[in-house]
A and B are shown apart, each in its own frame.
Chain A
Amino acid sequence: DTAVSQTPKYLVTQMGNDKSIKCEQNLGHDTMYWYKQDSKKFLKIMFSYNNKELIINETVPNRFSPKSPDKAHLNLHINSLELGDSAVYFCASTLKQGTEAFFGQGTRLTVV
Protein backbone atom coordinates (compact mmCIF):
# COMPACT_ATOMS: atom_id res chain seq x y z
CA ASP A 1 0.00 0.00 0.00
CA THR A 2 1.22 3.48 -0.85
CA ALA A 3 1.83 5.48 2.32
CA VAL A 4 1.09 8.93 0.87
CA SER A 5 -0.83 9.01 -2.37
CA GLN A 6 -1.70 11.97 -4.56
CA THR A 7 -4.11 12.21 -7.45
CA PRO A 8 -3.84 13.05 -10.22
CA LYS A 9 -0.21 12.49 -11.10
CA TYR A 10 -0.43 14.83 -14.07
CA LEU A 11 -2.80 17.73 -14.60
CA VAL A 12 -2.91 19.97 -17.66
CA THR A 13 -5.44 22.76 -17.63
CA GLN A 14 -6.14 26.18 -19.06
CA MET A 15 -5.65 29.51 -17.37
CA GLY A 16 -8.61 30.61 -15.32
CA ASN A 17 -9.82 27.12 -14.51
CA ASP A 18 -10.36 25.76 -11.00
CA LYS A 19 -8.75 22.44 -10.10
CA SER A 20 -8.18 20.21 -7.09
CA ILE A 21 -5.39 17.86 -6.09
CA LYS A 22 -6.14 15.14 -3.56
CA CYS A 23 -3.82 13.65 -0.97
CA GLU A 24 -4.38 10.72 1.35
CA GLN A 25 -2.07 9.08 3.87
CA ASN A 26 -2.65 5.69 5.49
CA LEU A 27 0.08 6.03 8.11
CA GLY A 28 -2.07 7.39 10.91
CA HIS A 29 -0.01 10.59 10.92
CA ASP A 30 -1.20 13.76 12.61
CA THR A 31 0.36 16.39 10.36
CA MET A 32 0.10 16.86 6.61
CA TYR A 33 1.79 19.34 4.29
CA TRP A 34 1.69 20.73 0.79
CA TYR A 35 4.91 21.73 -0.93
CA LYS A 36 5.46 23.41 -4.29
CA GLN A 37 8.51 22.68 -6.43
CA ASP A 38 8.93 25.09 -9.30
CA SER A 39 11.12 24.89 -12.40
CA LYS A 40 14.15 25.90 -10.36
CA LYS A 41 13.62 22.77 -8.23
CA PHE A 42 13.25 24.68 -4.98
CA LEU A 43 10.90 22.86 -2.57
CA LYS A 44 8.80 25.43 -0.74
CA ILE A 45 6.27 24.68 1.96
CA MET A 46 2.79 26.05 1.37
CA PHE A 47 0.53 24.72 4.10
CA SER A 48 0.56 22.42 7.08
CA TYR A 49 -2.40 20.90 8.90
CA ASN A 50 -2.36 19.10 12.24
CA ASN A 51 -5.44 17.03 13.03
CA LYS A 52 -7.50 19.00 10.50
CA GLU A 53 -6.36 22.33 11.91
CA LEU A 54 -4.33 24.77 9.80
CA ILE A 55 -1.02 25.47 11.52
CA ILE A 56 1.22 26.83 8.77
CA ASN A 57 0.14 29.09 5.95
CA GLU A 58 3.01 30.55 4.02
CA THR A 59 2.63 33.55 1.77
CA VAL A 60 0.43 31.77 -0.70
CA PRO A 61 -2.21 33.53 -2.83
CA ASN A 62 -5.69 33.04 -1.48
CA ARG A 63 -6.58 31.31 -4.75
CA PHE A 64 -5.03 28.30 -3.03
CA SER A 65 -7.29 26.76 -0.42
CA PRO A 66 -6.39 23.58 1.44
CA LYS A 67 -9.17 21.44 2.83
CA SER A 68 -8.79 18.67 5.38
CA PRO A 69 -11.98 16.62 5.81
CA ASP A 70 -10.18 14.33 8.24
CA LYS A 71 -6.63 13.89 9.41
CA ALA A 72 -5.89 11.32 6.69
CA HIS A 73 -6.73 13.70 3.85
CA LEU A 74 -5.44 17.10 2.80
CA ASN A 75 -6.73 18.34 -0.52
CA LEU A 76 -5.55 21.42 -2.38
CA HIS A 77 -8.02 23.48 -4.36
CA ILE A 78 -6.75 26.15 -6.72
CA ASN A 79 -9.01 28.82 -8.20
CA SER A 80 -8.39 30.90 -11.30
CA LEU A 81 -5.23 29.08 -12.31
CA GLU A 82 -2.35 31.16 -13.66
CA LEU A 83 0.68 30.25 -15.76
CA GLY A 84 2.92 30.74 -12.71
CA ASP A 85 1.09 28.00 -10.88
CA SER A 86 2.74 25.43 -13.13
CA ALA A 87 4.91 23.30 -10.85
CA VAL A 88 5.11 19.95 -9.14
CA TYR A 89 3.06 19.82 -5.95
CA PHE A 90 4.05 17.37 -3.23
CA CYS A 91 1.98 16.23 -0.30
CA ALA A 92 3.70 14.95 2.83
CA SER A 93 2.84 13.71 6.29
CA THR A 94 4.57 13.30 9.64
CA LEU A 95 3.56 11.68 12.89
CA LYS A 96 4.38 14.83 14.79
CA GLN A 97 6.20 18.02 13.94
CA GLY A 98 9.90 17.39 13.60
CA THR A 99 9.70 13.67 12.86
CA GLU A 100 10.40 11.84 9.63
CA ALA A 101 8.28 13.05 6.75
CA PHE A 102 6.80 10.80 4.08
CA PHE A 103 6.17 12.33 0.67
CA GLY A 104 3.81 11.51 -2.12
CA GLN A 105 5.04 11.09 -5.67
CA GLY A 106 3.92 14.54 -6.71
CA THR A 107 1.37 16.10 -9.04
CA ARG A 108 2.77 17.85 -12.08
CA LEU A 109 0.47 20.76 -12.84
CA THR A 110 0.80 22.49 -16.19
CA VAL A 111 -1.24 25.60 -16.86
CA VAL A 112 -1.51 26.57 -20.53
Chain B
Amino acid sequence: DAKTTQPPSMDCAEGRAANLPCNHSTISGNEYVYWYRQIHSQGPQYIIHGLKNNETNEMASLIITEDRKSSTLILPHATLRDTAVYYCIVSPDDSGGYQKVTFGTGTKLQVIP
Protein backbone atom coordinates (compact mmCIF):
# COMPACT_ATOMS: atom_id res chain seq x y z
CA ASP B 1 0.00 0.00 0.00
CA ALA B 2 1.15 3.54 -0.71
CA LYS B 3 1.72 5.44 2.49
CA THR B 4 0.68 9.01 3.15
CA THR B 5 2.18 11.69 5.36
CA GLN B 6 0.12 14.49 6.85
CA PRO B 7 0.85 17.18 9.46
CA PRO B 8 -0.63 16.13 12.81
CA SER B 9 -2.57 19.34 13.35
CA MET B 10 -3.57 22.64 11.79
CA ASP B 11 -5.59 25.69 12.77
CA CYS B 12 -7.78 27.75 10.48
CA ALA B 13 -9.79 30.89 11.11
CA GLU B 14 -13.52 30.58 10.54
CA GLY B 15 -14.49 31.79 7.07
CA ARG B 16 -11.00 31.38 5.67
CA ALA B 17 -9.83 28.64 3.34
CA ALA B 18 -8.32 25.58 4.97
CA ASN B 19 -5.53 23.96 2.95
CA LEU B 20 -4.61 20.48 4.14
CA PRO B 21 -1.49 18.94 2.56
CA CYS B 22 -0.71 15.29 2.00
CA ASN B 23 2.42 13.58 0.70
CA HIS B 24 2.09 10.25 -1.11
CA SER B 25 5.42 9.91 -2.88
CA THR B 26 5.12 6.14 -3.43
CA ILE B 27 1.70 6.28 -5.09
CA SER B 28 1.37 4.03 -8.11
CA GLY B 29 -0.31 4.82 -11.40
CA ASN B 30 -3.65 3.16 -10.69
CA GLU B 31 -4.10 4.49 -7.17
CA TYR B 32 -6.60 7.20 -6.35
CA VAL B 33 -6.17 9.83 -3.64
CA TYR B 34 -9.11 9.84 -1.22
CA TRP B 35 -9.96 12.23 1.57
CA TYR B 36 -12.18 11.39 4.51
CA ARG B 37 -12.87 13.20 7.74
CA GLN B 38 -13.95 12.11 11.18
CA ILE B 39 -15.89 14.55 13.30
CA HIS B 40 -15.45 13.84 17.00
CA SER B 41 -16.19 10.12 17.41
CA GLN B 42 -18.54 9.71 14.47
CA GLY B 43 -17.87 7.35 11.58
CA PRO B 44 -15.48 8.64 8.91
CA GLN B 45 -17.16 10.62 6.15
CA TYR B 46 -16.11 10.63 2.51
CA ILE B 47 -15.13 14.04 1.14
CA ILE B 48 -13.59 13.72 -2.30
CA HIS B 49 -11.23 11.65 -4.43
CA GLY B 50 -9.18 12.01 -7.59
CA LEU B 51 -6.65 10.30 -9.82
CA LYS B 52 -4.73 12.90 -11.80
CA ASN B 53 -6.94 15.91 -12.38
CA ASN B 54 -8.06 18.44 -9.84
CA GLU B 55 -11.54 17.77 -8.50
CA THR B 56 -14.24 19.89 -6.90
CA ASN B 57 -17.53 19.05 -5.26
CA GLU B 58 -19.91 20.76 -2.88
CA MET B 59 -17.68 20.04 0.10
CA ALA B 60 -14.14 20.69 -1.08
CA SER B 61 -11.55 20.90 -3.82
CA LEU B 62 -8.69 18.49 -4.37
CA ILE B 63 -5.48 19.66 -5.99
CA ILE B 64 -3.09 16.91 -7.11
CA THR B 65 0.42 17.79 -8.25
CA GLU B 66 1.46 16.80 -11.74
CA ASP B 67 3.83 14.12 -10.47
CA ARG B 68 1.02 12.88 -8.16
CA LYS B 69 3.39 12.74 -5.21
CA SER B 70 1.36 15.16 -3.15
CA SER B 71 -2.08 16.70 -2.93
CA THR B 72 -3.96 19.42 -1.07
CA LEU B 73 -7.51 19.36 0.19
CA ILE B 74 -9.10 22.79 0.20
CA LEU B 75 -12.13 23.72 2.27
CA PRO B 76 -12.94 27.11 0.72
CA HIS B 77 -14.76 28.70 3.65
CA ALA B 78 -14.11 26.76 6.83
CA THR B 79 -16.82 26.69 9.48
CA LEU B 80 -16.73 25.49 13.06
CA ARG B 81 -18.46 22.30 11.92
CA ASP B 82 -15.42 21.49 9.79
CA THR B 83 -13.36 20.86 12.93
CA ALA B 84 -12.38 17.21 12.52
CA VAL B 85 -9.56 14.81 11.78
CA TYR B 86 -8.89 14.68 8.04
CA TYR B 87 -7.45 11.54 6.50
CA CYS B 88 -5.67 11.30 3.18
CA ILE B 89 -5.43 7.77 1.84
CA VAL B 90 -4.55 6.12 -1.42
CA SER B 91 -6.53 3.26 -2.85
CA PRO B 92 -6.48 1.25 -6.05
CA ASP B 93 -9.06 1.75 -8.75
CA ASP B 94 -11.51 -0.94 -9.71
CA SER B 95 -8.86 -3.34 -10.91
CA GLY B 96 -10.52 -6.32 -9.32
CA GLY B 97 -7.75 -6.59 -6.80
CA TYR B 98 -8.55 -6.72 -3.13
CA GLN B 99 -6.35 -4.32 -1.23
CA LYS B 100 -7.09 -2.86 2.14
CA VAL B 101 -7.97 0.79 2.66
CA THR B 102 -5.61 1.92 5.36
CA PHE B 103 -6.01 5.08 7.40
CA GLY B 104 -2.99 6.95 8.75
CA THR B 105 -2.99 9.32 11.70
CA GLY B 106 -4.57 12.19 9.78
CA THR B 107 -4.54 15.94 10.38
CA LYS B 108 -6.57 17.37 13.22
CA LEU B 109 -8.06 20.59 11.86
CA GLN B 110 -9.24 23.09 14.43
CA VAL B 111 -11.41 25.90 13.05
CA ILE B 112 -11.13 28.92 15.29
CA PRO B 113 -13.96 31.49 15.68
The answer, among B43, B46, B100, for a CB contact under 8 Å with A104, is B43
User: Given A42-B105, A43-B103, A97 and B41 touching (CB < 8 A)?
Assistant: no
Cβ–Cβ contact A99 & B45, under 8 A: no
A29-52 at interface with B (beta carbon < 8 Å) = 33, 35, 41-45, 48, 50
B34 partner residues in chain A, CB cutoff 8 A: 100
Cβ–Cβ contact A56 & B91, under 8 A: no
B32 partner residues in chain A, CB cutoff 8 A: 98
Q: Helix, strand, loop or mixed for chain A's interface?
A: strand
Q: Helix, strand, loop or mixed for chain B's interface?
A: loop
Cβ–Cβ contact B45 & A97, under 8 A: no
Tally of chain B residues near chain A (CB < 8 A): 27
Minimum CB–CB distance for B15 against chain A, Å: 27
Cβ–Cβ contact B95 & A98, under 8 A: yes
Tally of chain A residues near chain B (CB < 8 A): 29
Cβ–Cβ contact A43 & B100, under 8 A: no
Cβ–Cβ contact A106 & B105, under 8 A: no
Q: Which residues of B contact A (CB under 8 A)?
A: 32, 34, 36, 38, 41-46, 49, 85, 87, 91-103, 105
> What are 29 sample pairs from A and B whose C-beta atoms fall under 8 A apart?
A33-B101, A35-B103, A41-B85, A43-B38, A44-B103, A45-B101, A48-B100, A56-B100, A88-B41, A90-B43, A90-B44, A94-B101, A97-B96, A97-B97, A98-B32, A98-B92, A98-B93, A98-B94, A98-B95, A100-B34, A100-B46, A101-B36, A101-B44, A101-B46, A101-B101, A102-B46, A103-B44, A106-B41, A106-B43
